[in-house]
Structure 1
Amino acid sequence: MASRRSNVLQERFFNCLISGDRHASREIVSQAIDEEASAEIIMSHLFWPTTEMLQNLHRNDQLSSLSYHYATRLLRSLVDQMQLRLEKRNERNETILLVCGEEESEELAAQMAADLLEADGYKVFFAGGGVANDEVVEQLGELKADKLVIYGAIPATVPQTRLLIDRLHEIGVCPQVQIIVGGGVFNRADGLAEEIGADLWAKTPSELVQVMGDRPERRMTEDQRTVGRKRRATATQEAA
């Protein structure tokens, strides 16, 4: 989709979603398909920017609850349908556990990430939001997961994310697991991903797929991690 054309289509799509017009929303997606836009392009250049717009407006109290609910529920059903159209690539023999923030739009963004990663050949377990750290750690061990993706975290959950990463490094569950974060608060706070000890980070679902494919072996070294550093230093001093 050309840039100007894409912007016009996105505006029409957004207005249909927030007004709850299910038929018109589906017609716009059908039009994009008829014009031979791939499912990945529709997901990345129509669904994702619209989700981001909804997040920003909702966060700034510029969108009514009714419009937000209309849009997120309808968009989720369209994402579900588009997932079936994604081109499947060869299996990577790598397992991902993916969790996210609890807000509806954050789960929606994370679902897109899960769909694109699965199409890229990963075996994806998408838990959504609101899962306790203990359960995440246990599940990583049971799955023998290669990667943990935390996509679309909200500010209130960042401390939990810090504790989760620190615990994983401390107790050695899946010691080689790669930790990737993106979306949500990580898009608005420069340096936060590095600060909490993530190995990789990305802003959009499509960028997430790309950086994970390009840098599968990247891990933060012990010296690069800031998570838990102050607590470990204190413990060392006390022991001395």
Structure 2
Amino acid sequence: MPSQRNALLERYFTAMISGDRHTAREIMDEVFEADVPAERIASNLIWPTLNQIQNMRRADQLSSLAYHYATRLMRSITDQLQMRYQQHARRDQTVLVMSGPEESEELTGQLAADLLEADGYTVYYCGGGVSNDEITEQIATLRADKLVVFGSIPATVPETRLLIDRLHDLGVCPQLQIIVGGGVFNRAEGLAEEIGADLWASDPIELVQTIAENTQRRMTEDQRTVGRKRRPSSKRAAA
């Protein structure tokens, strides 16, 4: 029921920002004992809480102590949850995942990486703060099929755009599919298209679904236009 779910979210959020490890473990034990799938826990508990923490952090409504408590505790829980995801058949595709440099952004990136790995991809996750030169070299070395930039902050968007332009200019892995989402991409309409991303998604669960449903979608050169609004699409893909 919605009221029960909201109560659980409130308990979990309070435990996170207060650093209450005991209560956090109790909550996770409750959902595990109720046989709630790990993927549903990620989408209905972990992601909404993380999103709320990020929103409050941006609005300066969360103390540094509460932010540190929450992100460190959620990191531990996210690590535990990863082992419970249903593992799907291997897809024989390699994905490099990167994120924004802040702790909460790296957590969103980890959540995305864990879910993609469970969905059958070979995943490499580097977090944030890695130079474009190193990312470009790594994509070439891995012969990556997809680059996922998830959970970026506004300050890193120009670098992401430069990275995408560089990859196209150099012809590194010409069939590379570039996917962005979360963070600033959820708040800036049309930004994903503007920087030349092939796909975009608002949360990690949607990310996995969008990639699986749009394996061949690529943004063409004339579609990379500044300030363009997203076209309506049920699959959130470039037309």
What is residue 234 of structure 2 aligned with on the other side? none
Counterpart of 1:204, as a letter, is D
Structure 2 gap ranges (5+): 227-239
Residue 216 of structure 1: aligned partner: 215
2:232 is matched with none
User: Deviating runs (4+, > 6 A) in structure 1?
Assistant: none
Give the whole-Å Cα distance in 1 for the aligned partners of 2:160 and 2:188.
15
1:144-183 counterparts in 2 under 5 A? 144-183=143-182
Q: Deviation per CA, 1:78-136: give whole Å up to 9, x if none.
A: 00001001110000000000011001100001100000000000000000000000000
Within a 5 Å distance, the mapping from 1:10-49 to structure 2 comes to: 10-49=9-48
Deviations 1:48-78 (A, max 9, x none): 1000000000111100000000010001000
Please state whether the residue corresponding to 1:131 is helix, strand or coil: coil
Distance 1:175 1:4 in 2: 49
Give the aligned partner of residue 4 of structure 1: 3
Please state how far the C-alpha of 1:36 moved relative to its aligned partner. Answer: 1.3
Percent identity over paired residues? 62
Distance (Å, rounded) in 2 between the aligned partners of 1:85 and 1:171: 40
Give the match for residue 78 of structure 1. 77
Partner of residue 115, structure 1:
114
Return the letter of the residue paired with 2:71: T
TM-score, length basis structure 2: 0.93
Instruction: Name the residue aligned to 1:88.
Output: 87
Task: Kindly provide the CA deviation profile for residues 151-200 of structure 1, in whole angstroms up to 9, marking residues without a partner as x.
Answer: 01100001001100011111101011000000000000010000100000
Pairwise CA distance, 1:34: 1.0
Alpha-carbon distance, 1:6 to partner = 1.6
Aligned to 1:235: none
Q: CA deviation at 1:4?
A: 2.6
Match of 1:238 in 2: none
Query: Is residue 196 from structure 1 mapped to residue 195 from structure 2 by the alignment?
Result: yes
Structure 2 letter corresponding to 1:25: A
| Matching residue of 1:133 | 132
Task: Give 2:59's aligned amino acid.
Answer: N
What is the CA distance between 1:226 and its match in structure 2?
2.9
Q: Secondary structure at the match of 2:148?
A: strand
Q: RMSD of the alignment, in Å?
A: 0.8
Distance 2:2 2:132 in 1: 41
For 2:126, what is the secondary structure of its paired residue? strand
Instruction: Answer yes or no: is 1:68 the counterpart of 2:74.
Output: no
Partner SS for 1:223: helix
Instruction: Report the Cα distance in structure 1 between the residues aligned to 2:181 and 2:22, rounded to whole angstroms.
Output: 32
**C-alpha distance in structure 2 between counterparts of 1:223 and 1:125, whole Å:** 30
Q: Where does residue 231 of structure 2 map in the other structure?
A: none
Q: Find the counterpart in structure 2 of residue 233 from structure 1.
A: none
Larger radius of gyration: 1
